[in-house]
Amino acid sequence: MSFVELIKNRKAKVTIIGMGYVGLPHAVEIAKVGFSVSGIDVQKKRVNSLNKGVSYIKDVKSGELKKVIKNKKFKAYNTYKSLKKADIVIICVPTPLDDYRIPNLSYIKFSVKEIKKYLHKEQLIILESTTYPGTTEEVILPMLKETGLEVGKDFYLSFAPERIDPGNNMAFSDITKVVGGITKKCTNLTELFYSQFIKNVHPVSSSKIAEMTKLLENIYRLINISAINELALLCGKMQIDIWEVIDAAKTKPYGFQAFYPSSKVGGHCIPLDPFYLSWKAKEYNFWTRFIELAGEINEQMPHYTVTTVNYALNQQGKSIRNSKILIWGVAYKKDIGDSRESASFEIIPDLLKKGAIIDYFDPYIPKISIQKKSASIKNSTERTLELKSIDFSLRSLKKYDCVLILTDHSKFDYEEIAKNARLVIDTKNAIKSRKHKNVFRIGG
Ligand SMILES: NC(=O)c1ccc[n+]([C@@H]2O[C@H](COP(=O)([O-])OP(=O)(O)OC[C@H]3O[C@@H](n4cnc5c(N)ncnc54)[C@H](O)[C@@H]3O)[C@@H](O)[C@H]2O)c1
């Protein structure tokens, strides 16, 4: 069977490296349409629980995972051996920044080293991890070429950025996939593969175009969110309700898209990915000033939030020191269980440092670790502070001097929270009415 027929008949064996927020949903969707999928992850515990049909991601139902396991279409592994028989390999590993905000490609390079050991003719390698333009061609390709195999002839290599939006209920198959290969044949095969389980695939002329497309999408969000945060700070001073302003601006039928203030843009993507480009731009003696400015404003938002808590407590004759503060939500956005880059990891240490007594509530995140290095937790000999989510009841709110809403998880009656709490700082406009005198907002 030719490679094209293998894909069309869904007989191609697929291996996905990285069973995280991107890799796992892919594995299930690809297995659902009939491909045999192997999922590789370095975390043994994760591999074991996936093989038992237990999904740790809210958007991937354990029932669906169990079904593809039962049909023998999915299995997870802690080794890379499945790469040997794989026709298609998808890389979905993290792409963080290091402590100096420099791209850390070590996860990609480690994966490619393993792929290289098993690279063979008629194999398609796809990178899905977000990265700077040039990674596929300048980092991955030279490593794979060392095998003596030729790209576009012996094996195929492409970039296909991931666009999933955790917590958004849009069907996986409805999110158009952009694909860009090293050669035309690489692009064509990648397009053919994704069109087996995604309705619209948009081929572009190179992997660099596809890499830049993903960054443009995230830069657009970071800059616009930071711009609205800047206006929120100004509106706070001018006593203009930014939330009402946004609602009014939204009535314009064209040329305006609403973005909302918050205590910081979190997650593994928007606050980090743009800086992959800033770093790469320096190679061209170019400074991406919009990105840097947007990042700066974003990083100031947790500090502004703590200042608002300070002000609001002060209005009630209290100080942060010795105040009992309930942090409402530590996920980086509503209705998900992901806390990466969440504002809470800056705000909680800062409040602790100022002497507050902190509890938190998050229905999706049962426990968190606060790093001592940023927390300066007084008198603590531990490197980290472990906190557990409280069991929430409206009555328990009275125990706190202040409730700080960082995440507006759905299914809670925020009007009731405002009624029962002594003081609320609402960074998400979760409390819609303007009748509660005990509610302070970011931006008015
Ligand atoms: N999470 C999102 O919403 C999202 C959306 C679009 C793009 N992305 C991008 O996709 C990539 C993956 O993100 P994610 O959110 O899935 O990350 P994640 O941390 O949820 O998952 C990554 C997984 O890879 C595993 N892993 C790390 N190194 C490995 C290796 N060498 N071999 C095998 N497994 C390894 C980790 O154990 C983890 O399970 C990143 O580049 C991210 O920027 C993420």
Check if 27 has its Cβ closer than 6 Å to any atom of ligand 1: no
Q: d(Cα 340, Cα 80) in Å, to the nearest integer?
A: 27
pLDDT at 230 exceeding the cut of 80: yes
Question: What confidence category does residue 169 fall into, taking pLDDT thresholds of 50, 70 and 90?
Answer: confident
Average pLDDT on 7-12 reads: 98
Question: What confidence category does residue 165 fall into, taking pLDDT thresholds of 50, 70 and 90?
Answer: confident
Instruction: Work out which ligand 1 atom sits closest to the CA atom of 164.
Output: 5
Of the candidates 324, 337, 326, the residue with the CA atom closest to the CA atom of residue 425? 326
423 three-state secondary structure: coil
Q: d(Cα 301, Cα 264) in Å, to the nearest integer?
A: 5
Find the Cα–Cα–Cα–Cα dihedral 165, 168, 174, 176, rounded to 10°.
Answer: -20
Q: d(Cα 284, Cα 52) in Å, to the nearest integer?
A: 49
Confidence (pLDDT) at 375: 46
Of the candidates 21, 49, 25, the residue with the CA atom closest to the CA atom of residue 37? 25
Average pLDDT on 345-359 reads: 95
Return the H-helix or E-strand segment holding 16: strand 13-17
Average pLDDT on 323-344 reads: 96
Q: d(Cα 101, Cα 121) in Å, to the nearest integer?
A: 37
Of the candidates 396, 397, 405, the residue with the CA atom closest to the CA atom of residue 440? 405
Task: Classify domain 222-441 by CATH architecture.
Answer: 3-Layer(aba) Sandwich (3.40)
Confidence (pLDDT) at 372: 58
DSSP 265-301: --SSSTTTTHHHHHHHHHTTT---HHHHHHHHHHHHH
Query: Which residues are 71's β-sheet partners?
Result: none
Confidence (pLDDT) at 282: 97
pLDDT in tens, 361-415: 999 999 999 975 544 445 555 568 899 999 999 999 999 999 999 999 999 999 9
Q: Which stretches of 197-246 are assigned E, i.e. beta strand?
A: 201-203
Instruction: Kindly report, as residue ranges, where domains of CATH 3.40.50.720 are found in the chain.
Output: 3-205, 222-441
In Å, how far are 69, 157, 342 from 211, measured between CA atoms? 33, 13, 25
Instruction: Work out which ligand 1 atom sits closest to the CA atom of 18.
Output: 24
Report how far ligand 1's centroid is from the alpha carbon of 108 (Å): 10
- Regarding pTM above 0.75, the answer is yes
| CA 292 from centroid of its chain's CA atoms | 20
Instruction: Work out which ligand 1 atom sits closest to the CA atom of 131.
Output: 41
Of the CA atoms within 13 Å of residue 303, those in its CB half-sphere come to: 5
pLDDT in tens, 116-125: 999 999 999 9
In Å, how far are 285, 288, 299 from 292, measured between CA atoms? 15, 6, 11
CA-nearest residue, atom 38 of ligand 1: 20
pLDDT in tens, 140-149: 999 999 999 9
Q: d(Cα 299, Cα 2) in Å, to the nearest integer?
A: 52
Ligand 1 pocket mutation pick from 38, 41, 132, 175 by most atoms within 8 angstroms of CB: 41
Average pLDDT on 262-275 reads: 94
Q: d(Cα 326, Cα 323) in Å, to the nearest integer?
A: 10
Check if 338 has its Cβ closer than 6 Å to any atom of ligand 1: no
Average pLDDT on 169-183 reads: 95
Instruction: Work out which ligand 1 atom sits closest to the CA atom of 273.
Output: 43
Of the candidates 27, 25, 6, 22, the residue with the CA atom closest to the CA atom of residue 74? 27
Residues catalogued as catalytic: 269
pLDDT in tens, 274-301: 999 999 999 999 999 999 999 999 999 9
Q: d(Cα 440, Cα 341) in Å, to the nearest integer?
A: 24
Of the candidates 393, 337, 390, 396, the residue with the CA atom closest to the CA atom of residue 360? 390
CA-nearest residue, atom 13 of ligand 1: 94
Of the candidates 178, 174, 89, the residue with the CA atom closest to the CA atom of residue 130? 178
Work out the percent of the chain whose per-residue pLDDT is above 70: 97
In Å, how far are 58, 364, 407 from 337, measured between CA atoms? 7, 5, 11
Is residue 154 within 8 Å of 185, Cβ to Cβ? no
Confidence (pLDDT) at 382: 55
Name, in order, each residue with C-beta under 8 angstroms of 212's C-beta and a sequence gap of 6 or more.
133, 277
**DSSP single-letter state for residue 316:** T
Q: d(Cα 381, Cα 372) in Å, to the nearest integer?
A: 9
Report how far ligand 1's centroid is from the alpha carbon of 198 (Å): 20
Average pLDDT on 431-443 reads: 94
Check if 21 has its Cβ closer than 6 Å to any atom of ligand 1: yes
CATH 3.10.20.30 fits 3-205, yes or no: no
Q: d(Cα 394, Cα 281) in Å, to the nearest integer?
A: 51
Check if 19 has its Cβ closer than 6 Å to any atom of ligand 1: yes
Q: d(Cα 161, Cα 177) in Å, to the nearest integer?
A: 7
Check if 38 has its Cβ closer than 6 Å to any atom of ligand 1: no
Check if 214 has its Cβ closer than 6 Å to any atom of ligand 1: no
Is residue 29 within 8 Å of 197, Cβ to Cβ? yes
At residue 159, what are phi and psi to the nearest 5 degrees? -115, 135
Check if 15 has its Cβ closer than 6 Å to any atom of ligand 1: no
Residue 432 token pair: 């819609």
Is residue 423 within 8 Å of 316, Cβ to Cβ? yes
pLDDT in tens, 58-83: 889 999 999 999 999 999 999 999 99
Q: d(Cα 358, Cα 376) in Å, to the nearest integer?
A: 14
Q: d(Cα 222, Cα 227) in Å, to the nearest integer?
A: 9
Q: d(Cα 291, Cα 182) in Å, to the nearest integer?
A: 28
Confidence (pLDDT) at 145: 98
How many C-beta atoms surround the C-beta of residue 168 within 10 A?
11
